[in-house]
Amino acid sequence: MLLLTSSACSHSPAPTPPKSGLQPQTEASKAATSPALSGRWWRDDVFYEIFVRSFADSDGDGVGDFNGLTARLDTLNDGDPNTHGDLGINGIWLMPIHPSPSYHGYDVTDYRAVNPAYGTMADFERFLAEAHKRGIKVIIDFVLNHSAKDHPWFKDAMASKTAKHRGWYTFRDAPDPRWKRPWDGGQVWHKTRTEEYYYGLFWSGMPDVNLSNPDAAEAMVSAMEFWLSKGVDGFRVDAVRHLFESEAGTLVDQPESHAFMKAARKRLATKYPDALLVAEAWTDSQTVAEYFGDHGDEFQLAFSFDAGGAMVTAAKDGLKVTMAQFTQTANEAYSDRGFEAPFLTNHDMPRVMRQLKGDAAAARVSAATLLAQPGTPFLYYGEEIGMQGGASSKDEDKRTPMRWTADAGYGFSTGKPWHEADEAEGVDLKSQRKDPNSLWRLYRDLIRLRQESPALSDGRAEALPITGGGRGTFALLRQQGSERVLFVANYHREAAASFSLKLAGTPEVQLQEGLGKVASEGGVLTIEDIGPQGFALIQLR
């Protein structure tokens, strides 16, 4: 039997000390291979994050849907390596697809159904089949930490202290314990009409599910198995730092959270050994690394928020220091940097092009840096064409509809899009496919180069010391076996003077922008100059 320690938070009524909430192991599962030893298909993939509501609308109601997504798959990967009109990604992460009262979907009302605004289950299954036909893996958001307050479970829990689902959530009698939300000090205990309080970390509309309750835990993990049985390839697990909380009001990174995910991973692996779990743990690299588990037995990937911050800061400031510091810290934090999922920005952040204030050269060097990183990179839809989104800090402005064309409705919808924002001329896929120097073409070429190179897709990474070059020049060596690929970048807005590094081999430039002459002699590689915000990928023979 898999065991999890009970959360210290009290419930009404108080449960007996729970077991894992997961089904006992069968003889077959006991003999199964350790999940850490299963296939690592994601190691040479590049993922693409999609907000279905904003990607492609097939029926003109202004809201994106599964059929629209299916119709646009060939732009992401048409399944034919000999064509060049697709971006070339081979993994998709869908933001929440479940029924929800909100536009974003992170408050779920049914974990085994799809949002009717996006279509039917049959529509989703068709999308999944078409993606797989093209060699694209699909993971979906799974909101394990909390449900919607409109979920039937919570409605039942609120009905009485003896309700079936009462222990699936956490209640307390008055007074308010006055715990504070870690990132902004907001309230986390919410008053009911009966002088009680329930726990909801993010807001009152998202009560936390009590995963120490065995029935609640079973319902959640069974729902994950439901989607895997449909053919989904894994999950991005939301808010993993907050699954459990202590009696003292510590709301992050509890041992019970790790224990729960290890048990869930082991359970899922008995039938689905290649299912991918990606952790959303918004914190520093040292803490994120703990979600890999003791022996790689928890999550296979975790988003690297430090990587995104370092890359965007380097491109904004024109200095290499953040990239050099991040690389050193990450190499110390992770025993295997293949655990990282680097990205520039996601749906919770202002888009990278907005942060860069429309600086096209900075966006290009950011893209090159991302796709030179170890781990499994994630792109945010529209990033590849330089979308900025809206100017406000509202989340809706970070999640505006995809720009397919410059026409009315952006090629997204024949009706009025659910949310709109201005974009610069040329920020649409149709225009950029025609432009040989477009950002989209750069992303396409970088992705293909990465996928053809074992060193770039799964090699170790080392930041190299440079002699000369100035404060903006950075060098990262990727190596897998005998293959070595050197990434060099000048983040500064002025050209870098000649610089050198100790590295033997005959250089062969694979992709470059603004690179001067490259020479190798006596175990020293010299680059005469590299232009403002220039970069290169150089293979060493």
**CA dist., res. 299 & res. 476, Å (int):** 26
Q: Are residues 502 and 372 in the same domain?
A: no
| Structure token digits, residue 475 | 């060098």
Which residues on adjacent β-strands are paired with residue 47?
91, 378
Domain identity same for 318 and 334: yes
Q: Which residues are catalytic?
A: 238, 280
| Lowest-confidence pick of 7-16, 355-364, 390-399, 449-458 | 7-16
- Label residue 39 by pLDDT band (50, 70, 90): low
Same domain? For 443 and 530 the reply is no
Counted domains in the chain: 2
18-22, 89-93, 272-276, 485-489: which range is least confident on average? Answer: 18-22
Nearest partner of 21 among 148, 144, 105, judged by Cα: 144
The reply to whether 377 falls in a domain is yes
The enclosing domain of 381 has a CATH number of: 3.20.20.80
Same domain, yes or no, for 476 and 356?
Answer: no
pLDDT for 6:
30
Instruction: For residue 288, give the nearest of 335, 350, 248 by alpha carbon.
Output: 335
Residue 273's SS3 state is coil
* Same-domain check for residues 468 and 532: yes
Domain boundary among 405, 428, 452: 452
369 and 434: one domain? Answer: yes
22 pLDDT more than 50? no
Report the DSSP beta bridge partners of residue 534: none
pLDDT over 90 at 12, yes or no: no
The CATH number given to whatever domain includes residue 497 is: 2.60.40.1180
Q: Do 492 and 374 have their domain in common?
A: no
Give the number of other Cβ atoms within 10 Å of residue 16's Cβ: 8
Q: How far apart are CA 207 and CA 242, in angstroms?
A: 12
| Residue 199 pLDDT grade (very low, low, confident, very high; cuts 50, 70, 90) | very high
By CB neighbour count within 10 A (0-12 exposed, 13-18 middle, 19+ buried), where does 334 fall?
buried
Q: Which of 452, 467, 495 is where one domain is finished?
A: 452
CA 345, 348, 349, 353 dihedral sign is positive
Residue 322 counted as domain residue: yes
Q: Are 381 and 505 contained in the same domain? A: no
Angle at CA of residue 143, ends 379 and 76, nearest 5°: 25
pTM for the model: 0.93
Quote the mean pLDDT of the chain: 92
Structural domain contains residue 206: no
Q: Which pLDDT does position 13 carry in this prediction?
A: 34
Residue 14's pLDDT is what? 33
Same-domain check for residues 433 and 464: no
If 0-12 CB within 10 Å is exposed, 13-18 middle and 19+ buried, where does residue 75 land? Answer: middle
The set of residues, in sequence order, having a beta carbon less than 8 Å from that of 144 and lying 6+ positions away, is 209, 211, 220, 237, 238, 239, 240, 243
Among residues 423, 452, 481, the one where a domain terminates is 452
Q: Are residues 488 and 344 in the same domain?
A: no
Domain with 54, as residue range(s), is: 37-142+281-452
How far lies 338's CA from each of 293, 376, 419, 476, 508, in Å?
14, 7, 37, 16, 26
Kindly report the backbone phi and psi dihedral angles of residue 433, in degrees, each rounded to the nearest multiple of 5, phi listed first. Answer: -65, -30
| Cis geometry, peptide bond prior to residue 13 (ω within 30 degrees of 0) | yes
Helix (H, G, I), strand (E, B) or coil at 425: coil
Angle, vertex CA 405, rays to CA 400 and CA 410, nearest 5: 40
Q: Is residue 73 part of a domain?
A: yes
The span from the CA of 450 to the CA of 457, in Å, is 6
Taking the C-alpha atoms of residue 46 and residue 344, their distance in angstroms, rounded to an integer, is: 13
Q: What is the 3-state secondary structure (H, E, C) of 39-88?
A: CCHHHHCCEEEECHHHCCCCCCCCCCCHHHHHHCHHHHCCCCCCCCCCCC
* Sign of CA pseudo-dihedral 222, 225, 229, 230: positive
Token readout for 67 is 């059929």
> Rg of the Cα trace of the chain?
24
